[in-house]
Amino acid sequence: MQTETTNPKPAQRKRAGASHPDARATGPVTLQRSRILRDLVASMMLGQYLGLVEDSGVVLKLLTLVVGQSRTLRVGSALASAMGGEVQPARILLAEGLEDSPENEPAVVSLALALKMGGAPEWERLVERILAVSSNAAIRQLALQVRLAPDPVSTMS
């Protein structure tokens, strides 16, 4: 009589996070997961843009569970909110001390853009600070582009 000593069937495998062989899979499974995550991010951002804060917050929590705490998700959400005219998510991120560390410079420039799009005057201080202290040429160039971009609030009238 033969006993089965090989790997259990996929349905019998216990999920064990990143150490599980399926977590490192490539190909169709990873591609499908990427598409789902992309669609969830798009849904979250669209919800923020449309002012559906509660609904997009649920999607943000789900995404955070899947990909972990991600400042990038929160900055994207703040940008989408600003496009819809709400700058509070950007202000919240800044209040958490985001601008205190050089590795956060890309996020700070993104939040400056969000604040500018939302018509909040704080964007100017952020851009000037980046231009004054950053040693990263690409970040300085982005900050300069934010400074030179037309004010979206004044161009809509």
Place of tokens 């231009």: 131
Whole-number average pLDDT of the chain: 80
Going by pLDDT thresholds of 50, 70 and 90, the confidence category of residue 133 is very high
Q: Residue 53: its pLDDT value, please?
A: 82
User: Is 126 part of any domain?
Assistant: yes
Q: What is the mean pLDDT of residues 50-58?
A: 87
Residues sharing a CB contact under 8 Å with residue 107, sequence separation 6 or more, in sequence order: 71, 72, 75, 93, 98
Q: How many CB atoms lie within 10 A of CB 135?
A: 8
Q: How many CB atoms lie within 10 A of CB 80?
A: 23
CA gyration radius, the chain? 21
Going by pLDDT thresholds of 50, 70 and 90, the confidence category of residue 21 is very low
State the total domains in the chain. 1
Q: Residue 26: its pLDDT value, please?
A: 54
Range of the structural domain that residue 105 is part of: 29-155
User: Is 143 part of any domain?
Assistant: yes
Q: What is the mean pLDDT of residues 14-36?
A: 57
User: Is 14 part of any domain?
Assistant: no
User: Is 78 part of any domain?
Assistant: yes
